[in-house]
């Protein structure tokens, strides 16, 4: 597999695929690949003959107090995994290639970027949309795959693509879960055993949200409270937020209806290091209640 580091070369590789009439799928990543990423590649492979994956630890989406320096990097291992999945090429630029000296542009989806995760990580989503727009413009894929695990990111990227009329389809991929229900994430590597056991409560709490909605609960507050109660019962978890919002626009809801996202963010206490932030969510299609008997 070719590991491409320069933008003009990446464009030439994709141009050649297009000349051959191939469909191009794209999976952007920051490396440290796990089953979640590989499931995105597999989904892309199912939809197209040729998949380009990128590996770029994007400094613009890390805050000053966040783990950019210690973010795990292992290009050789990541490329081996991608080769095994049959990707056509890997785009792995360095920082100067993406952001040469004097780089001054930022792309931001206002409104969606400063709520929820964005409230706790100011500037994070502007960093994501800036790099994703650049990557989409470099690779020019027919479609790009993003995981539902990072639901807010996916909704923001979809909105950017719509607002800027980008000729690419954004495909959402289901969250991959490990045997205990914990969503696959590079951050799971930081969990010790007690933290890992506590983290399993996240999935349980989201299952409870589904159960409540399926049994007819339509109050966002009551669903949020039930989820929060399960999380708060775990001494190693500190709840940052629990929110039930509209899945298309992350809007607050008075009453649950349509496609709903229940989003959770917690900090897990791990001995000997800073707490680990974990986010997770479920999407629930809320059925409209049947009209009362006898109504027209």
CB-nearer residue toward ligand PAF: 153 or 175? 153
Asked if 150 is part of the footprint of ligand PAF (rule: CB under 6 A), the reply reads yes
> Which residues ranging from 177 to 216 are in contact with ligand PAF (CB under 6 A)?
none
Count CB-CB contacts under 10 A for residue 170: 19
In the bound state with ligand PAF, the residue whose beta carbon lies nearer, of 130 and 205, is: 130
Q: Which of 82, 117, 131, 245 binds ligand PAF (CB under 6 A)?
A: 131
Q: Does 32 engage in binding with ligand PAF (CB under 6 A)?
A: no
- The CB-of-153 to ligand PAF minimum distance in angstroms stands at 6
Residues 34, 37, 190, 203: which is the catalytic one?
37
User: Using the rule CB under 6 A, is 128 a contact of ligand PAF?
Assistant: yes
* CB-based contact 87:67 (threshold 8 Å): no
CA gap 274, 153 in Å, rounded: 24
Nearer to ligand PAF, 17 or 128 (CB): 128
Four-point Cα dihedral 185, 171, 174, 134, nearest 10: 10
Residue span binding ligand PAF (CB under 6 A) among the ranges 16-24, 28-36, 238-246, 263-271 = 28-36
**According to the binding rule CB under 6 A, does residue 130 interact with ligand PAF?**
no
CA 214 – CA 85 distance, rounded (Å)? 37
**Cβ density class 73-106: b for 16+ within 10 Å, e for less:** eeeeebbebbeebebbbbbbbeeeebbeeeeeee
Residues paired with 144 in a beta bridge: 26, 170
124 is catalytic: no
**132 lines the binding site for ligand PAF (CB under 6 A):** yes
Give one DSSP letter per residue of 85-117, joined into a string. Answer: TT-SEEE---HHHHS-TT-------TTTSSSTH
Given the structure tokens 């990543």, which residue do they identify? 29
Q: Is 58 in the site for ligand PAF (CB under 6 A)?
A: yes
Q: Which residues bind ligand PAF (CB under 6 A)?
A: 28-30, 58, 61, 128, 131-132, 150, 153
Residues labelled as active-site residues: 37
């Amino acid at each position: 597999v070719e590991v491409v580091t320069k933008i003009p070369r990446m464009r030439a590789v994709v141009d050649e695929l297009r000349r051959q009439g191939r469909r191009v799928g794209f999976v952007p990543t920051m490396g440290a690949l796990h089953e979640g990423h590989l499931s995105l590649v597999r989904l892309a492979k199912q939809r197209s003959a040729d998949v380009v994956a990128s590996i770029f630890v994007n400094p613009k989406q890390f805050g000053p107090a966040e783990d950019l320096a210690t973010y795990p990097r292992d290009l050789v291992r990541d490329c081996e995994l991608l080769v095994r999945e049959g990707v056509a090429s890997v785009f792995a630029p360095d920082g100067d290639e993406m952001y040469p000296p004097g780089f001054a542009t930022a792309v931001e989806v206002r409104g969606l970027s400063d709520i929820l995760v964005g409230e706790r990580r100011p500037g994070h989503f502007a960093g994501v949309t800036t790099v994703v727009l650049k990557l989409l413009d470099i690779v020019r894929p027919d479609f790009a795959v993003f995981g539902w695990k990072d639901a807010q990111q996916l909704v923001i990227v979809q909105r950017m693509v719509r607002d800027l009329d980008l000729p690419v389809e954004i495909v959402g991929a289901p969250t991959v879960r490990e045997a205990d229900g914990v969503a696959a994430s590079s951050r799971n590597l930081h969990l010790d055993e007690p933290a890992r056991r506590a983290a399993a409560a996240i999935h349980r709490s989201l299952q409870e949200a589904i159960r409540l909605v399926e049994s007819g609960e339509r109050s966002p507050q009551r669903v949020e409270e039930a989820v929060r109660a399960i999380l708060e019962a775990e001494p190693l978890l500190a709840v940052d937020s629990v929110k039930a919002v509209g899945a298309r626009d992350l809007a607050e809801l008075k009453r649950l209806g349509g496609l709903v996202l229940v989003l959770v963010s917690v900090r897990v206490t791990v001995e000997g290091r800073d707490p680990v932030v974990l986010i997770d969510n479920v999407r629930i299609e809320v059925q409209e209640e049947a009209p009362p008997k006898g109504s027209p």
